[in-house]
Structure 1
Amino acid sequence: MKKLFLLFLCIPYFAFAQKTTILKGTVKNKEKQPIENVSVKFGNTGTTTDENGNYSVRIPFKEEITIIFRHVSYKTFTKKLTATSRNSIRFSPILSLKTEKLKEVVVKDRRKEAQGITKIDVNKAKNIVGPNAGVENVLMTLPGVNNNNELSTQYNVRGGNFDENLVYVNGIEVYRPFLIRSGQQEGLSFINSNMVQNINFSAGGFQAKYGDKLSSVLDITYRKPTEIATTVDASLLGASATFEGGFLDNKLSVLTGIRYRDNSLFVNSKQIETNFRPRFTDLQSYISYDFSNQLTLSYLSNFSLNNYDYQPISRRTRFGTIADPLELIVFYQGKEENNYFTLFNALSADYKVNDNLSFRTTVSSYNTQEEEYYDVLASYNLGEVDANIGSQDFGEVDFSEGIGSQLNHARNDLDALINNVQIRGTYKKDRIQWDFGVKYQNEDIRERIREWEVIDSLGFSVRPPNHAGNNQPYEPFEGPITPFQNIREDNKVQINRISGFVQINERLFWNDNEVWYNFGIRAQNWTVSSNGNNSKSQLIISPRAQFAIKPNWARDMLFRFSGGWYSQPPSYRELKDFNGKINVDVKAQKSIHLVTGMDYSFNLWERPFKLTTELYFKDLSNVNAYSVDNVRIRYRADNITTAYAHGLDVRLNGEFVPGSESWVSLGYLKTEENINNRGNIARPSDQRIKFGILFQDYVPNLPNLKAYLNLVYNTGVPGGAPAYSDVYQFQERLRDYKRADLGVSYVFTDANKQYQTGFLSKFKELTAGLELFNMFDIQNAITNTWVRDVYSKTQFGIPNFMTGRVLNFKVSMKF
């Protein structure tokens, strides 16, 4: 009887199912971003898209209908459909923004701007031209962000160094390798730009929910795909492939990308002749499964392998002035073999208790195994070049000022394992939002350092400075040859950290003025142990605040203020001094940070523009002074330095060309440090003037032919100092950094231009183009090589030039 009753209940369902089918899809804009709250309707039936642009609605079977997609900010889209199959139908339209003027006031979401966060268009990260095209390359065009090394993805922000930047992917902090010395060894960035959905960047004054660093935050979100697609990119520099798809009625989303890169094209354009095989491989996956509307489980993994085989042959560098030119000629023997293996895994669970309360728990593990092996003998001749135009030897070296050689040896191994678990929560009530969290992290680093350098000048071995016992030529010296530098250390370091934060956000109205405020506080406690030495437990407290107001003016302006007491507990690199020894008692660097800014949005030539300005000041104490050699940072590990930084950042972005956003940025920075009360000198990151342009254009009668121009000008930074020298005596700067990269591409097909027949019908997207790097072939220097003059006993800083002009071909396709 019960079975018969159930059968009668199911008859209407089966009858209805036979007469209908499911229509579903994803509604996006021309920038391929999902659109939320789009009305999807036919007749009296309809639905709306969710936050990911997805919709699902039942339509009649074998009956023509007209389905309408409506949104207040986009043009209405209509489509006639007839379901000819009982299987679900997928239709994903592209909506175009409305271009007509509206008399009503358009309400904008200004939360990111109020927080001092720059939101970067994902398409720019994919299309921008540069040797390391991607998210970091876009950052280089922003004011306050500097980098003079086109082979590196590292960057300095407002006077800080590479180690002072926070990078998050889906709320999980990621790390850079420990032993990397040069940009050409660095390989691929952790961030795969083909997997990115959102890019948010803060150059300072960021909230307490972010970690304990002094300079900046780059917050990346990987997307959750809803449709199956494969994207393939290929060029003379390497290739990548990305697979994405939504399965099990879009409960399961899979996003996987593999990348391969070979930088030989760039290195072969430098002044050093080499046999070079730099190979970088990277595999990433982001998998997410929705168990219910309340529980989602996500998994993020990364595997990377960098093999760096380097065999220098010769080098010829001419420098100096027109009246007094010099030339360095070097012949090399030996080679360098470095390997960097990295494995990263993170598992996250998001649980939504109700509409007001949600939690995220994350467990992650990062392991890096690095080998740095080299034996390189360099024999050099530093000579004066004949500058007499009438001379038969014009342009030739006619007098040698320095002759010698140096042998560099290393057998360095490092194994680092970083494990952490964190719980974060969000509670919303009315217009107030509370964020809170706690995190435990254990760092286990083991490093074996065997590194020495022998310097020979005119047949005599150069001993370390202040080395007693040599009274030649009056007394014969019978002691052993002592390396100029010699480091032999075995470090076993354990760091345990417990950190937490709580912050409150609110949006309200003060009279007719819109106001945002944020107040939060962070705390971290940590201990360090190394080879039997244990540090005392150290604690830092970091209060931070933000305030923004949008006055009820006719002009669209926003004013914001932020600041706080920021602290940076030492990482393993900061615990290690120049000689490789660990100081377990290194304290956290501290900074009082103040930022004030303004955003002014306006229309020019009937197109949107925005002018952003920020004025900032940092007062730093307990500073751990450092030196920079390419991308290698070496710390003093003593906290005896104070410093300051102040500057002004200005950025104008908008549609200089209709439909294409471009920007111009200008930054001024001054940062100095006082080491042990000896007086202020420029810090290694003291880059006074920064000017950048990111410009996009297209041919009016041929809009699928597009051009991308990336221009950067930076004034020179301090050129560093030789080993064992006094940095106060070496304050010469490198030459100004000037670079222009141009890219031209043609879009054969994309979301706005589809083919039903022929070869192009097989592609969802197909683009091909050419890239010209360093188009003016400007010689930019990143560091100095120091060579001794045997007569004056002085040392010359000989610039190490970066890459020259390089032409690259690339193609991108999506199936």
Structure 2
Amino acid sequence: MLEIALHLKQHFLENNSLLKIKPFFLIVFFILLPFVGQSQTATLKGIILNKSNLPIANVNIKTSSNGTTSNDNGFYLIKIPANTNIIVEFTHLSFKKITATFNLKNGESFEFNPVLDSQIEQIETIVITSTERNRVEGVTTIKPEIIRTIKGAQPGIENLLKTLPGVNISNELSTQYSVRGGNFDENLVYVNEIEVYRPFLIRSGQQEGLSFVNTDLVQNVDFSAGGFQAKYGDKLSSVLDITYKNPIKFGVSADLSLLGGSISTEAISKDSKFSGIIGLRYRDNSLLVEAKETETNYKPKFADIQTYLTYKFSDKLHVSFLGNASINSYNYQPESRQTNFGTLTDPLALLVYYDGQEKDKYQTYFGAFKANYFLNDAITLKLIASQYHTTEEEYFDILAQYRLGEVNSNIGDENLGEVEFSEGIGSQLNHARNDLDALITNVEHKGSYNYEDHLLEWSVKYTHEDIRDRIVEWEVIDSAGFSINPPNIDKFNEQPYQAYQGPLVPFQNIRATNNTKIDRLQAYGQWSKRDYIGNHEVFYNAGIRMHNWTVSGKDITSKSQTVFSPRAQFAIKPDWDKDILFRLSGGLYYQPPFYRELRNKEGVVNPEVKAQKSVHIVLGNEYSFKMWERPFKLVSEAYYKNIQDVNPYTINNVRIRYEANNVAKAYAYGLDLRLNGEFVPGTESWFSFGYLKTEENINHQGYISRPTDQRLKFGILFQDYMPNIPDVKMYLNLVYNTGVPGGSPSYANPYDYQERLPDYKRADFGLSYVIVNKDKTYSGWKQKFKELSLGFEIFNMFDVQNSITNTWVRDVYSKRQYSIPNYLTPRVFNIRVGMQF
């Protein structure tokens, strides 16, 4: 074995492409190589289906020496001894048993996709002796087929998350979401156990472009809205855990629409050692932005390429690479805008004429290596190393000249809808030259030890964040030709009635240059166990996280802090006739500050900012039942958060600005309900309801609603098809959210402005016709495709005028301030073509 390892070392040293890998990876790689090939095993894998070609979960696969179960997608993988006849059994309580014999070579990976038939015998009492992991952990699983089928104005996983209870998205141009009273920065996102990051400077949804997660590459999606285990990182709100595919065959898929397109390719080598998938995407939001009330010249270019590659050196050592390169270019030249508001008896309008432009660029590059070493059947060791680099530019000079006036409301008048009397005339000049360069490096070791019903998991992770940031941003406002001073100047000018003799200064002015470094050391350990109390099945989980971080940099006094986060879960499935599970989880959750949380509104970095902490308790219940002879599930969760050392912030569109101090405390509580199942045979749909109340107390001024206090939420995802033409399918994605606070100027004290934005109501409808189905045979040009579909979509089907923020305009005569809503997209039509080869 030593000779084999030395031979492999020499082979890879002679390969020039390996020289591109950092020495650190070479050292780890060579340390692991001597262990290669110690066992003579082969791999058996595949997808277990029923007669309707639907995947079957929880099928028991066992040999004389080991066993496993299929996951929610029907996929299984099991190691068997090589070069000998091995009998494998596939059993499930609802299906007939299948037995097959295999004799595979050492290192061989063989795909076997059995089809199970229904049991003939009727079983009066079914006792389930295994509990699905996601049920006991409080994790919601979304099938990748639904993600790729249900599109939207901003397609992707986030488009479906907004229909789940507790998740709020009130901006169809954005992929950012808030969960149970948290903000956008409080959500963890993992891809194959690798934490991913977002750009920093984006301030509006239409600048975002693409979500990091490429849905064409997704194999599994898990989401937790709170009470998650210690193995997940230090955030206060949620975890989105994505698994990318390990392909088992060659395939090509493409999707084209008026909003852009994507193409992906997956393949596997003949010996099944190397597999990979690669995806390219292009996004153009012109169709959506040009439908808004602001007339613009808009030239966006959002594109990225992602790949996930895996090489199996042996059954024991698997090495993977996740790579992403994203280039977003946003050129925006507003021309004019007219917004009508007010009441029927007192209609008003804001007319704005623009001059200038905005040019933004966001370039992000991400690469990660992951090595899995299966020491034996009980111990798995992992090494993950990743690096994220983003360079961002935000340049704009935009002059806006406005008229605020009364609107002609006389029906039949030729000047109907035009401004006849101007109550206010003014202008506003916005300037920015913001640059940011961030480099984030991670190295992590993870491991697990599985002994009988006990599972031990641990990790040690080091992170280095190097962020260089320059902010030059100012705003000048005048009304009727007179400059308006900022609110922090005691003597507010009274022009034109009284002459102002003080200096003329910008209304807002931020100038700062920061070179900040943050070093983090994180570790966790957790224990899980399945057991029985009498005939009742139970699940335990307990763990603790440690997080130490040090903030340093130019003109910054170094500051180091450490926190410990204990967490626990308990679930019980009573031995009842009905399939009911109860779950209790919670703990002490911390969120050590990221760079954006350290920088205040003036651009100054405060290294003294503490980690926000929350005592989190979640009580859940899952009830699985059959209705109309089809499976359904009702999931209910009640939660409470007591949050201390809160870092107050304001939200403008998707831009968050922190106070960079810990002068507040807060709480959040609510109830989430979700009913999902086959309301239509063969399709999954769900209905969601959420109630939330979250308030904060800043500097002991009393409790007020937090910016994310979205009190009520309803979500529906419904799928159907024509009974006589099943190839014609439809979906309805409907969301209703009550309005959040946010109608106040960014400079104002939030205690003086508690006006809520209007309720958010949106329905997206899609209709598709499957021209080619992979389950049928065709002749002629159709046989070139595995699947081919043509779709038609209506975004914002009822043409509701939703708004995300307000523009505040002063009437120079009455001294009143008017809140002018900034409306989101109206009704938009889209055409889509999907294909697989």
Report the TM-score when normalising by structure 1: 0.90
Shift of 1:49: 11
Q: Distance in 2 between matches of 1:543 and 1:23?
A: 38
2:714 paired residue number: 691
CA contact (8 A) 2:767 2:791 kept: yes
One of 805, 811, 818 as aligned partner of 1:783? 805
1:541 paired residue number: 564
CA contact (8 A) 1:94 1:751 kept: no
Shift of 1:109: 3.5
One of 690, 699, 708 as aligned partner of 1:676? 699
Structure 2 counterpart SS, 1:208 = coil
Shift of 1:272: 0.6
Matched letter for residue 495 of structure 1 = I
Shift of 1:53: 5.0
CA contact (8 A) 1:129 1:708 kept: no
2:587 paired residue number: 564
Q: Distance in 2 between matches of 1:682 and 1:217?
A: 24
One of 153, 163, 175 as aligned partner of 2:197? 175
One of 124, 130, 151 as aligned partner of 1:129? 151
Shift of 1:223: 1.1
CA contact (8 A) 1:684 1:720 kept: no
Q: Deviations over 1:272-313 (max 9, x none)?
A: 100101110010010001111111000000000001000001
1:463 paired residue number: 485
Q: Distance in 2 between matches of 1:578 and 1:106?
A: 59
- Find out whether 1:212 has 2:234 as its counterpart: yes
- Find out whether 1:524 has 2:547 as its counterpart: yes
Alignment of 1:152-231 (within 5 A): 152-231=174-253
- Find out whether 1:250 has 2:240 as its counterpart: no
Q: Distance in 2 between matches of 1:536 and 1:673?
A: 27
Task: Describe the shift of the 1:420–1:391 C-alpha distance in structure 2 as closer, same or farther (beyond 3 A).
Answer: same
1:350 paired residue number: 372
2:26 paired residue number: none
Q: Distance in 2 between matches of 1:38 and 1:557?
A: 22
Mean CA deviation greater in 390-399 or 688-697: 390-399
2:285 paired residue number: 263
Task: Describe the shift of the 1:93–1:424 C-alpha distance in structure 2 as closer, same or farther (beyond 3 A).
Answer: closer
1:9 paired residue number: none
Q: Deviations over 1:125-172 (max 9, x none)?
A: 111131112211111100000010001111000000000000000001
One of 394, 398, 412 as aligned partner of 1:376? 398
Structure 2 counterpart SS, 1:725 = coil
- Find out whether 1:734 has 2:768 as its counterpart: no
Shift of 1:767: 1.6
- Find out whether 1:644 has 2:646 as its counterpart: no
Shift of 1:94: 7.6
CA RMSD of aligned residues (A): 2.8
One of 721, 724, 727 as aligned partner of 1:704? 727
Unaligned runs of 5+ in 2: 1-41, 81-87, 99-107
Shift of 1:102: 4.7
Shift of 1:530: 3.4
Report the TM-score when normalising by structure 2: 0.88
Structure 1 counterpart SS, 2:174 = coil
Shift of 1:111: 1.9
CA contact (8 A) 2:109 2:272 kept: no
Shift of 1:38: 8.8
Task: Describe the shift of the 1:509–1:784 C-alpha distance in structure 2 as closer, same or farther (beyond 3 A).
Answer: same
Q: Distance in 2 between matches of 1:99 and 1:737?
A: 48
Q: Distance in 1 between matches of 2:296 and 2:781?
A: 42
CA contact (8 A) 1:285 1:301 kept: yes
Task: Describe the shift of the 1:762–1:392 C-alpha distance in structure 2 as closer, same or farther (beyond 3 A).
Answer: closer
Q: Distance in 2 between matches of 1:671 and 1:645?
A: 4
CA contact (8 A) 1:687 1:717 kept: yes
Shift of 1:75: 6.9
2:606 paired residue number: 583
Q: Distance in 1 between matches of 2:782 and 2:47?
A: 23
Structure 2 counterpart SS, 1:660 = coil
CA contact (8 A) 2:298 2:333 kept: yes
Shift of 1:792: 2.6
Structure 2 counterpart SS, 1:729 = coil
CA contact (8 A) 1:228 1:243 kept: yes
Structure 1 counterpart SS, 2:376 = coil
Task: Describe the shift of the 1:265–1:202 C-alpha distance in structure 2 as closer, same or farther (beyond 3 A).
Answer: same
Matched letter for residue 634 of structure 1 = R
Q: Deviations over 1:468-495 (max 9, x none)?
A: 6779789965665311111110011000
Shift of 1:55: 10
Q: Distance in 2 between matches of 1:328 and 1:720?
A: 17
- Find out whether 1:625 has 2:625 as its counterpart: no
Structure 2 counterpart SS, 1:355 = coil
1:721 paired residue number: 744
Structure 2 counterpart SS, 1:656 = coil
1:313 paired residue number: 335
Q: Deviations over 1:3-54 (max 9, x none)?
A: xxxxxxxxxxxxxxxxxxx99994453677698979899xxxxx99998557
Matched letter for residue 105 of structure 1 = I
Matched letter for residue 229 of structure 1 = G
- Size of the aligned set, in residue pairs, is 770
Q: Distance in 1 between matches of 2:304 and 2:43?
A: 38
2:3 paired residue number: none
CA contact (8 A) 2:547 2:563 kept: yes
Matched letter for residue 245 of structure 2 = R
Q: Distance in 2 between matches of 1:268 and 1:471?
A: 39
Task: Describe the shift of the 1:570–1:391 C-alpha distance in structure 2 as closer, same or farther (beyond 3 A).
Answer: same
Task: Describe the shift of the 1:666–1:420 C-alpha distance in structure 2 as closer, same or farther (beyond 3 A).
Answer: same
Mean CA deviation greater in 388-397 or 699-708: 388-397
Structure 1 counterpart SS, 2:751 = helix
Alignment of 1:22-171 (within 5 A): 26-29=46-49, 52-53=75-76, 72=92, 95=115, 98=118, 102-103=123-124, 105=126, 107=128, 109-171=131-193
- Find out whether 1:593 has 2:616 as its counterpart: yes
Q: Distance in 2 between matches of 1:235 and 1:773?
A: 13
Mean CA deviation greater in 785-794 or 424-433: 785-794
Structure 2 counterpart SS, 1:148 = coil
Structure 1 counterpart SS, 2:242 = strand
Mean CA deviation greater in 393-402 or 681-690: 393-402
Shift of 1:72: 3.6
2:361 paired residue number: 339
Structure 2 counterpart SS, 1:760 = helix
CA contact (8 A) 2:48 2:116 kept: no
Task: Describe the shift of the 1:27–1:202 C-alpha distance in structure 2 as closer, same or farther (beyond 3 A).
Answer: closer
Shift of 1:399: 2.4
Matched letter for residue 223 of structure 2 = F
- Find out whether 1:292 has 2:311 as its counterpart: no
Matched letter for residue 516 of structure 1 = F
Shift of 1:398: 2.9
Q: Distance in 2 between matches of 1:356 and 1:788?
A: 69
Q: Distance in 2 between matches of 1:122 and 1:175?
A: 22
CA contact (8 A) 2:482 2:495 kept: no
CA contact (8 A) 1:297 1:347 kept: yes
Identity, % of aligned positions:
56
One of 421, 442, 454 as aligned partner of 1:432? 454
Shift of 1:98: 3.8
Unaligned runs of 5+ in 1: 1-21, 42-46, 58-67, 79-87
Task: Describe the shift of the 1:492–1:747 C-alpha distance in structure 2 as closer, same or farther (beyond 3 A).
Answer: same
Q: Distance in 1 between matches of 2:336 and 2:290?
A: 12
One of 414, 418, 429 as aligned partner of 1:407? 429
Q: Distance in 2 between matches of 1:358 and 1:388?
A: 76
